[in-house]
Amino acid sequence: MLQIKCPYCQELREEDEFSYGGEAHIERPANPEACSDEEWGAYLFFRKNPRGVHHEMWNHAAGCRRYFNVTRNTVTYEILESYPMGEKPAVLAAGPGERN
Amino acid sequence: MSGGSYSGFSLFKNALSYHENWQRAWRSPKPKSDYDVIIIGGGGHGLATAYYLAREHGITNVAVIEKGYLGGGNTGRNTTIIRSNYLWDEAAHLYELALKLWEGLSQELNFNVMFSQRGVLNLGHTLQDMRDIERRVNANRLNGIDGEVIGPAEVQKLVPLLDCSPGNRYPVLGASWQPRGGTARHDAVAWGYARAADALGVDLIQQTEVTGIRRENGRVTGVETNAGFIGARKVGCVVAGNSGVLAAMAGLQLPIESHPLQAMVSEPLRPCLDTVVMSNAVHGYISQSDKGDLVIGAGIDHYTGYGQRGSFHVVEHTMQAICELFPAFSRVRMNRQWGGIVDTCPDACPIISKTPVQGLYFNCGWGTGGFKATPGSGYVFADTVAHDRPHPLAEAFSIDRFYSGALIDEHGAAGVAH
């Protein structure tokens, strides 16, 4: 069971209050009509899926019901930070010994 | 087979020396400097691929490179359910090929994989479940796959311990029933393929981790490992949850996310459940192993992860569902619980594909239900690698479908069903 801090509620709560929203910081192409099949497929389906530091979205479903971002290690499941939508993560690259 | 084949006679002969002199099942060779084909990943699918490369295509200068021990990943962590009742033609044909190979596998490998066609039930709890079941069974029958829709009375007859009383929390309105489905001993599948591949000359290299994929001019030339560089003209990657990590080594990205999937076994009980019971709606599936323990599978954790463990509330939910369906199991104690890392695709179908790198192939994305496909997966992937073009049954499972949009949506039949 993960313990996740909602940056809006400023509360550390158990994982089953939240629902997972997938990889964060994926930008929808500004002009989908102009995308090639490769660009559109990459946007829809291809994900980083790193072994190590991952930026992802969570929704505080049983709380404020807002989406926010979390930086989590996908091997140790350690949560490194959570931050509101629209902000950039403080923890960026994979740490030593990890592969991205 | 080095040291002879397994038989009633060999069992008798070895009994006379207290079973202390059985031959080793396979060699532990030093890696050669160069192979025709390297298969990365010594699970069921990788070992089956190596076996069929040698057996069907005469390519015996093959190495299987495994970072841990053979069958130590998802092959040894799944709930061993085998069935082929998938909705769409492409998936149905692929899983049915696997099921047909399962039916002759113990004989072919001279290794008892304990394949038991005890039948698989997929329960329907709502009217919509039943409509989906009718549609899927009809599609299966049109594809020559056995299956029937049965009502609650027949379900109750097949599974006396299942609570089919009206008005319970998860009412059983009926089920799909595939009598040819069943279970097999998961470790034995890896061992059987390993032993048979070894006998045909395949080198099984354990405790060796691939750390890089070397390429020159867009062509694969071999793999870097923690035991040094090993050359190869072709490399097949069959590493389930770690597919994304291997793809990144070749500068590729995959439409795959890795999730923990959990399962557990109970203490051994007297025989009480002689079929496989699955329920997509309540995320639980259960069978009883020959040893007597109840084998129970849960759903995936929704977050991505590589930690081979998941969150408690997921297994808690599954246990609640199992206790509702089988009130008699509510006092059964659980012995062990574990997680494996499954490689899920957006359409719940595998990727069996060439890649933009010449000579590099991927077989991945089997997600929550790869065990049942082990023989078929190895068969079509070996053919794909040997001829450098997709096997006819693998064509639809190319990675290109995520650009063309020709997805094969098997979420309904894949469900939580493994």
Cβ distance of B306 and A74 shorter than 8 Å: yes
Cβ distance of A44 and B304 shorter than 8 Å: no
Q: Quick one: CA dihedral B92, B282, B299, B160, positive or negative?
A: negative
Residue B115 in tokens: 């394949």
Contacts of A2 in chain B (CB under 8 A): 303, 311
Mean pLDDT of B240-262: 95
Model ipTM over 0.90: yes
DSSP assignment string, A54-68: EEEEEE-TTTT--EE
Residue of B390 and A93 predicted with greater confidence:
B390
d(CA B117, CA B179): 7
Strands A67-73 vs A53-59: parallel, antiparallel or unpaired: antiparallel
Q: Residue A80 belongs to what domain range?
A: 3-84
Amino acid at A99: R
d(CA B126, CA B129): 5
Contacts of B255 in chain A (CB under 8 A): 41, 45-47
d(CA B39, CA B60): 12
Smallest Cβ–Cβ distance between B311 and the set A15, A37, A75 belongs to: A15
The CATH number given to whatever domain includes residue A49 is 3.30.2270.10
User: What pLDDT score was predicted for residue B411?
Assistant: 85
Domains identified in chain A, total number: 1
Smallest Cβ–Cβ distance between A77 and the set B256, B307, B312 belongs to: B307
Per-residue pLDDT for A92 more than 90? no
Residue A95 belongs to a domain? no
Q: Cβ(B265)–Cβ(B293) under 8 Å?
A: yes
User: What pLDDT score was predicted for residue B413?
Assistant: 74
Per-residue pLDDT for B374 more than 70? yes
Residue A94 belongs to a domain? no
Residue partners of B248: CB distance under 8 A and separation at least 6:
A99, A100
Residue A99 belongs to a domain? no
Residue A49 belongs to a domain? yes
A97–chain B nearest CA distance, Å: 12
Task: Give the other-Cβ count within 10 Å of B89's Cβ.
Answer: 13
Contacts of B257 in chain A (CB under 8 A): 22, 47, 49
A16 in reach of chain B (CB within 8 A) = yes
Contacts of A47 in chain B (CB under 8 A): 253, 255-257
Residue A31 belongs to a domain? yes
Question: Each residue of A26-73: pLDDT tens digit?
Answer: 999 999 999 999 999 999 999 999 999 999 999 999 999 999 999 999
A38–chain B nearest CA distance, Å: 5
Per-residue pLDDT for B417 more than 60? no
Q: What is the pTM of this model?
A: 0.95
Smallest Cβ–Cβ distance between A51 and the set B306, B312, B403 belongs to: B306
Q: Quick one: CA dihedral B165, B169, B170, B174, positive or negative?
A: positive
Contacts of A100 in chain B (CB under 8 A): 248
Per-residue pLDDT for A81 more than 80? yes
* Per-residue pLDDT band at B373 (split at 50, 70, 90): very high
Residue A91 belongs to a domain? no
Residue A96 belongs to a domain? no
Residue A26 belongs to a domain? yes
What average pLDDT does chain B have? Answer: 95
d(CA A56, CA A74): 11
List the one residue out of A55, A44, A65 whose CA is nearest residue A22.
A55
Residue with tokens 């053979």: B70
CA distances from A44 to B238, B346, B408, B410 (A): 24, 9, 15, 18
User: What pLDDT score was predicted for residue A85?
Assistant: 96
Cβ distance of A75 and B242 shorter than 8 Å: no
Smallest Cβ–Cβ distance between A46 and the set B242, B255, B405 belongs to: B255
Question: Each residue of B153-187: pLDDT tens digit?
Answer: 999 999 999 999 988 899 999 999 999 999 999 99
Cβ distance of B306 and A75 shorter than 8 Å: yes
Write down the number of H helices and E strands in chain A.
1, 6
Question: Each residue of B297-339: pLDDT tens digit?
Answer: 998 999 999 998 999 999 999 999 999 999 999 999 999 999 9
Residue B52 in tokens: 């069929």
